[in-house]
Structure 1
């Protein structure tokens, strides 16, 4: 089983310069190879098979960085091409921007050239870099990805191959309905219903974020004060993102620890985001990330995820008698079933109907 562990790095100024060179060279070789592939195809209607090695003579600065960083950039480009030809909706590979693309590069462990020792990690061509190892792991290091976020913090994501550790089997089943007023409404096979409050991290920080963004917009481009203001905005966005991830990780861990079968609804976040009135709230909730975390944690722990059909009428059926009385406007949160007279809560009723799919 492959699992990634992410740690904070604390490089020296010299190491920061090296990382900047690696980020730039990985981006440069990606763009250079993509450009030549496009030109070659326009002329010959055939795919160009180019490699990073053939550019080192023309661009000597490429020799100063880890060669595996360039090789992984090539693999990323090849993967982007394969994804495009597999599914055109993915989109054609795009050029990487210095200011918009993520600053990162990936290197591989060969002969133990990547290892952890005394609160430091040894990386190819740079040596030991200080890191904060807040948790340990067991297994063989396959590769690591070094990255820098918009607020200037450095991280390393270590990909480790280890033995599968399935959790003890449990008979518990749960149905999960996602919402905005409450983030998730769950019903298990014991009949226990729980509403998990939507923390609304972006909404709560919006006033402070707007103030920081207005301050940034007033600064002169290219000035030091503008860069300081940019960092302040980036740090506020980073805090919101970290708060959201922390909430989602804790909730998905609890759900996957306690339940063997998990039933969730199939939501198309991309389509839902087209609703301008709800787009910001949906993005703030992080439904897509919640489902992604549930899926990979369930796989690691030997749990089963069941996704209801996209058009499954979980909110239209009575969970007591099964009567279906059609769609209802979003403002209707409670009603009585016209067939059996059961008083229904929209979200709880939906979670009970989803749970029924696990039986």
Structure 2
């Protein structure tokens, strides 16, 4: 069994805690009035998830034929799309088909993260498949995906393959941009335009840059870049309104802040010294996707039953801080309990979380 990357789990755990805290602010109607903390959370939380997902996909990169590529997409479709379609049906039992039809044209009405993650994953997998077909391997080792110890010719091949991959990715990005400009909202192209760069950045880092050892900068310089990025990101949060997306300049600003913030959080948490805090983050990160899905269900049910809070106080007062802390703790407890219970029931684990493991399949057949 492959050993888990504890540091990567810690990054995922940190990201889901940002989501939980952000939901606390939204539920208490504090996100609109907070000019700093929610801007920080919104700029990083989902971009960081996408970057980590791309990072993981890049680690598993290998050359695949057409059938293997199709099998990979089918496997990811089961994991992402089963909960994507099942949860809206459960939350809207009186008109499930109408709800699903609406979600297809506006993904953010449902589990948009899973839908968008599936789309950017498919784009990346197809781009990698086409790039590998265009630039043929020059050695048997490279044909198997082993590029770490290649000679100069093989590294040149990988560099050309990276160029082909980026060109194909750019072409796909342009197509989604044209769809978005046309007013066609099928599969929410605006979300793909927003999050594909983060997924692609994580993928390229592990699939090409890290594998070919292209980043040879000394650690002290990398740390210096991290401190510089931290200062820049804090300036983004303090000076600009990162929640506004009314113009192209707003979107570009959000993208710049998101990329900078993702680097700050990813590198900062990944390189954090081992200790109780990092261990806690890593334990939470093992169940990141399940926590996100359960959070969506809680959020949807909460808003339908109660609506958003009508509080008038500020986050920066004793009452605001106490309310957020209590909400956050309750949310963590309920989410952890919900995920634990669902994961122990094979049928629910498969249908609600998309875990079609061999164990779950066997238990489903028996029942």
Judging by fraction of residues, say which structure has more helix.
2
Bigger radius of gyration among the two: 1
Greater RCO (CA < 8 Å, at least 6 residues apart): 2
Q: Same fold (TM over 0.5)?
A: no
Compute the TM-score of the two structures, normalised by the length of structure 1: 0.27
TM-score in terms of structure 2 length? 0.26
More strand as a share of residues: 1
